[in-house]
Amino acid sequence: MKQEAEKIYNIEHADNVNIHIDGLFESAEKFNQAVSRIPGLIDCTMLMLSKYADPLNHTVSREDFIPLKGTHRDAIDIGDIVMTHWKIDKCIGKGSISTVYEAHHTGSQYKPAIKVIHSSFQFFDIEKTDITHRVYDASEMVQIELDNMVGLKGTGYIVDYEDHDAVENSDGSQDIIIRMELLQPLSDLLRSRRLSKEEVIQLGIDICKALEFCEKNSVIHCDVKPSNIYVNKWGGYKLGDFSASTKCGEKRNSDQIGTLKYMAPEVYAGRSFSYNIDTYSLGLVMYELLGSGSSISKEAALYQRFSGAQLPRLLRTDETLQSIILKACAYRPEDRFPSATEMLNELLKLNAATGVQGKPCDCK
């Protein structure tokens, strides 16, 4: 169930459900009829409902649609050759609007990741109990991701962009393909083992360095979470997937920002936000890794932090590391670290005091 929940949280920006909980049971028969038409969707749907049900007002003020993961028509398939000489080997990840493949160069064994951002997908309309095809303009989202990946290329702590192209669909729309560095998502690694305290500190240092580069380029990532943190073969960590990112001062549609489980309170509330929503999310990731992942995944704890409650203190975690994490996750933005550099400096001091050895992250 934990793995299934992680898959569901990997649905990019799936924060668009609009159901009045008071009337849910009256609509149960209609709802069950809809679910019966979609094999395997019931667990996903019920988790979605519990994830977005606000215990304070018993309603979910979102749009009416649940995107269905992987229901878009793929323009690219296993064995296809894209960008002249890159052969698609296997699918390694799917979101609601994108698919990521492992590929190799036809003239060598170099392996990149190929991300396909789809121009269309299907959604489940609960009110109409139907599945409908939606075509949307992906150009804005793609341009934001490309601009930020190209601008941050070569920093050593950001997943490297290599190239991009477009693929024509039969309906005239275009899917965008991005070639990038192939790394293992942290979320995949966590399925096989937990990170040690030393590894969590190293993760914090590396991702703070990534966010420091983001801030210098006026970029707010907006979606720091395990599936967007990548591990290289030397044990270093890199930040990837800038599809939800924004430039400081610019606005994004609320349904394109963040993942509820790691979202800062001001983003959840629809208020203005700044760079430290990213260190807030990083703090939550570190908190989860040190606390076995149970505390913030519980619905009550999730919504209590949105209402101002402090996260419960971690057991078996030294006071210095705990204070860094809890400051990063403070409810009020002004009580947090003002920048990634400030959080990084505290982690480096802890690193020096505990003798944690840094690991290189600037090699593929």
Catalytic annotation, residues: 223
Cβ atoms of 201 and 351 within 8 Å: the answer is yes
Cβ atoms of 221 and 207 within 8 Å: the answer is no
The CB-based long-range contact list for 75-84 (8 Å cut-off, 24+ gap) reads: 75/116, 75/118, 75/167, 75/168, 75/169, 75/175, 76/101, 76/114, 76/116, 76/167, 76/175, 76/177, 81/106, 82/114, 82/165, 82/167, 82/177, 83/163, 83/165, 83/177, 83/179
- Could you give the residue ranges of the DSSP H alpha helices within 186-245? 186-189, 197-216
Q: What is the enclosing helix (H) or strand (E) of 299?
A: helix 299-306
Q: Which residue has the tokens 């341009």?
A: 143
As given in the structure block, the two tokens for residue 38 are: 């979609």
Helix%, strand%, coil% for the chain, nearest 5: 35, 20, 45
In what order do the strands lie in the sheet containing 184-185?
184-185, 229-231, 237-239
Looking at this protein, which amino acid is placed at residue 13?
Answer: H
Alpha-carbon span 287 to 79, nearest angstrom:
41
Residue 163 phi, psi (nearest 5): -170, 170
Looking at this protein, which amino acid is placed at residue 209?
Answer: K
Q: Is the alpha carbon torsion for 256, 258, 261, 266 positive or negative?
A: negative
Count of residues making up the chain: 364
Closest by CA to 314, choosing from 306, 303, 326, is 326
DSSP string, 121-161: EEEEETTTTEEEEEE---HHHHHHHHHHHHHTTTSSSBPPE
